[in-house]
Amino acid sequence: MQTYYIISSGTLNREMDSLRFSNSNENKIIPLENIESIIISGNVSITKPAISILSKKNIPVFFMSMYDNYISSLIPEDYLLSGKVIMNQAIKAYNIDERIKIARIFVYAAARNMAIVLKRGNMGKIKIPYKEIMESKSINELMSYEGNFRNNFLNIVDQYLPNNYKIIKRSRRPPRNKMNALISYLNMLLYSITESQIFLTHLNPAISFLHEPFERRNSLSLDVSEIFKPLICDRLAIKMVKLKIIKDSDFLEENGVFLNENGRKKVVKMFDDKMQETVYSSSLKRYVSYKYLIRLELYKIEKYILEEKRYKPYISKR
């Protein structure tokens, strides 16, 4: 099953049991048999018949702005909600001791995966304050540790980037330079993929642990994405710059710096290839795609919520 990306602007309508996407340059049929979710970042009008067939086939749609902001999602009514899972998930999120126990794991796994990216790229090391993370008493304290070693990580990466692609300082809404624009767009793609995988579990996407629950509809996807951002988004951003896949002509400046349509197409192609890349899963004892690896992470969280089974996060070995 695949994720389908719509980057250009146009109209999405129903065509029998498929969709038709059309604009002044394109008029194509989108078969839905093998589509798991759709991510739209173009300025797209979607008709009521299109919504009807997507709902019938249980295909969620995630809307991003043409730049890097999550807008909303269209979730079919047959979403796999489970009262028991939601109640247990809410209880753990409401109990500060339980919430912080899970939040610590997200932060620690993110730090370990950042260290792996630096090590495998021969870029250096970051100090992981393991004791401080595991003894944190508040979410603000945890977020502070996460922010500090994230900044340290980016400062090291900056030493290996060309001058016109240095991060300098992480900036969002809007990104202030090319690397920030590239990372922000990749992060938003990862959030959307993670939420599409949440849709395939019984977890509620609005009940999170590290990020504030209910602050955004997809706050759980923000939590889980922390684990995978270094391995997927940061690695891809560094690779695209070092191999000169992304170029100055792929950006535009308009009250900030953003990828243009050609740039977004390049990023989506690289990101989708990465999602299909396989890595070894020790729990399944076989190779799985990165996309499925994210779903496995969610299954582990669901199992912990229901059965108190120890939650061991994914930490890359390569």
Point out the annotated binding site for Mn(2+). Answer: 146, 211, 226
Rounded CA separation 255/283 (Å): 46
Q: Which residues of 96-115 are buried (b: 16+ CB within 10 A; e: fewer)?
A: eeebbebbbbbbbbbbbbbb
Closest Cα to residue 44, out of 32, 61, 31, 68? 61
Q: Determine contact, residues 49/16, Cβ cutoff 8 Å.
A: no
Beta strand 18-22 with 27-30: parallel, antiparallel or unpaired?
antiparallel
Q: Which helix (H) or strand (E) holds 295?
A: helix 290-307
Rounded CA separation 145/139 (Å): 10
Annotated binding site: 146, 211, 226
**3-state secondary structure (DSSP) of residue 11:** strand
Q: Which residues of 220-245 are buried (b: 16+ CB within 10 A; e: fewer)?
A: bbbbbbbbbbbbbbbbbbbebbeeee
Rounded CA separation 277/239 (Å): 15
Q: Determine contact, residues 168/154, Cβ cutoff 8 Å.
A: no
**3-state secondary structure (DSSP) of residue 179:** helix
CB under 8 Å to 266, separation ≥6 — which residues?
Answer: 240, 245, 246, 250
Q: Which helix (H) or strand (E) holds 290?
A: helix 290-307
